[in-house]
Amino acid sequence: MAYLFTSESVSEGHPDKVADQISDALIDNFLAFDKNSKVACETLVTTGQVILAGEVKSQTYLDVQKIARDTINRIGYTKGEYMFDGNSCGVLSAIHEQSDDINRGVDRATKEQQGAGDQGMMFGYATNETENFMPLALDLSHRILKELADLRRENKDIPYLRPDSKSQVTIEYSDDNVPQRIDAIVVSTQHDDFADDDTMLAKIRKDIVEILIPRVASKLPESIQALFNSDIKYHINPTGKFVIGGPHGDTGLTGRKIIVDTYGGKGAHGGGAFSGKDPSKVDRSAAYATRHIAKNLVAAGVADEVLVQVSYAIGVVEPMGIFINTYGTCPFNMTDGEIANMVSNIFDMRPFAIEERLKLRAPIYSETAAYGHMGRKNETVTKTFSQPNGESITLDVELFTWEKLDYVNKVKEAFGL
């Protein structure tokens, strides 16, 4: 019997995502000037206020207030009427030195023996139902909000948009787990005030259905475009009004959108957030590494769908173990346990090896902090960072290295494919 599966996304202007982006902007600035920085930075945003807290070990000094304000302005909170804007909000920093008790388990005489920054389990997932090996419902949810942000910045076709928004997509699957159609789409977007609420709601619904959704669909492969139809159930701003939003409408915290950040409820999640953590924290680096493994396994034809788990003990170099679930989609006679043994021989999962393989000691994290950490485009960009003393540095950095299919040939060779 056919079934429905739903995933959601939130925009860069959602208060929790504002907090994530500020935390990751701090990470990038620390790593730009000291690639060995150890950082765990949390952010809270609310009406007119930003609070920064966390632990840092670094050789560089930053103007954290300016970094927070620049991030908020880039997102689009630039007007006093939002009750939260980058130029006027208060910024309080309670960042302090990292505990030596934690650091002693990570830093070692040789980098190769670097211990895990914490205990825990991390998951990576991939499926062949989309070109980027992501679950379709989540991929569409992200695309809707990215397109909505583009429309907001263009300020032409839909001129009343404000930064805060959410989306949700429900897909109908067949018994053999193939997407059949889009059942429902939910979009809630913050907007300027209207003189008449009924006129406002009708206008927003019309613009979302007739402008936003066609723009999203036009950029998709034909096979996915075919899932859009006139029978989709739309819920557009279902509360009827969304003028008060962002950190004024809802306090935001770093690390509260971990399912949006990963696979939209497909696969599994170990529970650890990503943003605000340098790559010595395996919550982040090992989650990227397991995504890299899962994506390369699916692309190589080992299975149509793969879940990878890895676990660590704080201060211990080698992982506790690697677990693989192919959901019965492996086309050849090999158990998931046998696949896991093969994977452990192909991919070095020691923390330092992950950092080196995926180039994680670079300022690459601001781009991850909205619209998902997985399924994104691997590309090289040029970024410039400045310190309070006027010193600046320009770097070419490679983004989303864990999305590369650079191990497909190694996997095929190992599995005889």
Binding annotation: 14, 16, 42, 55, 98, 164-166, 241-242, 250, 256-257, 273, 277, 281
Q: Which helix (H) or strand (E) holds 235?
A: strand 233-236
**Which has the closest alpha carbon to 212: 148, 135, 123?**
148
Rounded to whole angstroms, how far apart are CA atoms 62 and 25? 11
Dmax of the chain from CA atoms? 68
Pick out the residues of the known binding site for K(+): 42
Q: Which helix (H) or strand (E) holds 324?
A: strand 321-325
Phi and psi, residue 3, nearest 5°: -140, 165
Dump strand ranges (E) for 78-178.
90-97, 120-127, 161-173
Print burial letters for 341-355: b (CB count within 10 Å at least 16), e (below 16): ebbbeebebbbbbbb
Residue with tokens 């939003």: 245
Pick out the residues of the known binding site for Mg(2+): 16
Do 405 and 292 meet the contact criterion of CB atoms below 8 Å apart? no
Pick out the residues of the known binding site for L-methionine: 55, 98, 250, 281
Q: Please enumerate in sequence order all residues whose Cβ is within 8 A of that of 237, keeping only pairs 6 or more positions apart, or say none.
A: 187, 188, 189, 191, 201, 204, 205
Q: Which helix (H) or strand (E) holds 382?
A: strand 379-386
Question: How far are the Cα atoms of 30, 73, 131, 343, 345 from residue 338, in angstroms, in the given order?
Answer: 41, 50, 27, 9, 11
Pick out the residues of the known binding site for ATP: 14, 164-166, 241-242, 250, 256-257, 273, 277
Task: Report the amino acid identity of residue 186.
Answer: V
Nearest-5° Cα angle at 72, 71 to 78: 135
Do 292 and 386 meet the contact criterion of CB atoms below 8 Å apart? no
Nearest-5° Cα angle at 36, 32 to 38: 100
**Which has the closest alpha carbon to 252: 68, 20, 16, 24?**
16
